[in-house]
Amino acid sequence: MNRIFSGVQPTGNLHLGNYLGAIRNWVTLQHDYECIFCIVDLHALTLPQDPAELRASTREVAAAYIAAGIDPERCIIFNQSMVSAHAELSWLLSCLTPLGWLNRMTQFKEKAGKHRDNAGLGLYAYPVLMAADILAYKATHVPVGEDQKQHLELARDIAGAFNRRYERDFFPLPEPQIFGTATRVMSLRDGARKMSKSDTSDYSRINMTDDSELIGLKIRRAKTDPEPLPDTIAALETRPEADNLVGIYAALAGESREAALARFAGQNFSTFKEALSALSVEVLGHIGGEMRRLLAETGHIDAILKRGAERAAAIAMPVLREVQDITGLLRP
């Protein structure tokens, strides 16, 4: 059986990277797999969150999933904290995870910065909770953007550690699915940094809820270089900002980078940016409008999350119980 698990943190500012790197791929995959799409609110708590904003962001991510085309009947959509198996399994797996494995995680190093001693234990243990998310459903495939690759390798290592410790083939090793032309969308202001929810510059990212005017403004202000667009992809290698915009165009148009570049080779950026704005507005305008419509009446979203959590728990709780038995914990 092939089962997908993936998730997004409700930390505000859902952006084009989240859409192109993850959510849009899920829309396609939902037809071929049993899919579980989570809003990982417990992960969001690894950094300080305002409670009201966290609730609003959780609903906003759910609305984004649905507005982008994920069918809540076909797929399970829910928020992580509603299913206690995630946190419980996380503890059991953390007892099998050597510190050395966590010390290698680059995202922790980036987020903790220079003041590692002040970083929370949750931020450090975060990849173990992510492994628990996936393994609680014995998911076989995990579609994510490039930045989650290292965490997924760790999830595979943890699954292997459990299977070896208890000498059985219990957890499948989850396969990362990192595909498409925009697996790593970069900041519009700096081609060396990825587009991120936490970037303090609003002009660095296009948010899924931006209106057409704001999208146009951000693209016009996107950093570029003075040269016109080249005619080969190889020539973009030393031009990260141009390369990023071509990648975004290709992903939005659903074509290869080569095909996208061929349309604009030799042209200057103002023409290209105009076309990119129009395409972004075409794709995101509809999604943003649908999100606003869904968010105007939260009862519908809350009902979807509740029902999703029941369906999720029906899969995860029996897996957790089996793990408890295998581990030697007495149960009622």
239-247: long-range pairs with CB below 8 Å, 24+: 239/191, 240/186, 240/191, 240/192, 241/186, 241/188, 241/190, 241/191, 242/269, 243/191, 244/185, 244/186, 244/188, 244/191, 245/272, 245/273, 245/276, 247/181, 247/182, 247/185
Q: For residue 23, what are the contacts with CB-CB under 8 A and spacing of at least 6?
A: 8, 64, 65, 68, 70
CB of 321 to ligand TYM, least distance (A): 21
In the residue annotation, 194 being an active-site residue is answered as yes
How far apart CA 222 and CA 271 sit, in angstroms, is 13
Number of residues that bind ligand TYM (CB under 6 A): 25
From residue 102 to residue 131, the character string flagging contacts with ligand TYM as x (rule: CB under 6 A) and all else as - is ----------------------------x-
CB of 192 to ligand TYM, least distance (A): 12
- C-alpha closest to that of 209 among 59, 5, 72, 49: 59
- DSSP H stretches of helix in 200-239: 212-221
CB of 205 to ligand TYM, least distance (A): 8
- The binder of ligand TYM chosen from 194, 206, 276, 320 (CB under 6 A): 194
Whether residue 213 contacts residue 195, with contact meaning beta carbons closer than 8 Å, is answered with: no
Q: Which of residues 129-188 bind ligand TYM (CB under 6 A)?
A: 130, 133-134, 142, 144-145, 147-148, 151, 183-185
Among the listed residues 138, 149, 194, 306, the single catalytic one is 194
Instruction: Report the residue number whose CB is nearest to ligand TYM.
Output: 21
The stretch near ligand TYM (CB under 6 A) out of 3-11, 111-119, 267-275, 304-312 is: 3-11
Would you call 278 helix, strand, or coil by DSSP? helix
In the residue annotation, 306 being an active-site residue is answered as no
Nearer to ligand TYM, 6 or 209 (CB): 6
- C-alpha closest to that of 7 among 73, 91, 83: 83
CB of 181 to ligand TYM, least distance (A): 11
Q: Which of residues 5-64 bind ligand TYM (CB under 6 A)?
A: 5-9, 17-18, 21-22, 40, 43
In the residue annotation, 111 being an active-site residue is answered as yes
Q: Strands of 121-280 (E only): list them.
A: 141-143, 175-177
Nearer to ligand TYM, 136 or 236 (CB): 136
Tokens of 132: 């628990």
- How many other CB atoms are found less than 10 A from the CB of residue 238? 9
CA atoms within 13 Å, Cβ hemisphere of 306 = 6
Nearer to ligand TYM, 201 or 232 (CB): 201
Nearer to ligand TYM, 77 or 134 (CB): 134
The stretch near ligand TYM (CB under 6 A) out of 1-9, 70-78, 96-104, 253-261 is: 1-9
CA atoms within 13 Å, Cβ hemisphere of 235 = 12
Nearer to ligand TYM, 176 or 230 (CB): 176
Task: Give the type of residue at 38.
Answer: C
Among the listed residues 197, 223, 273, 306, the single catalytic one is 197
Nearer to ligand TYM, 257 or 300 (CB): 257
Binding site for ligand TYM (CB under 6 A): 5-9, 17-18, 21-22, 40, 43, 130, 133-134, 142, 144-145, 147-148, 151, 183-185, 194-195
Q: Which residues carry out catalysis?
A: 111, 194, 197
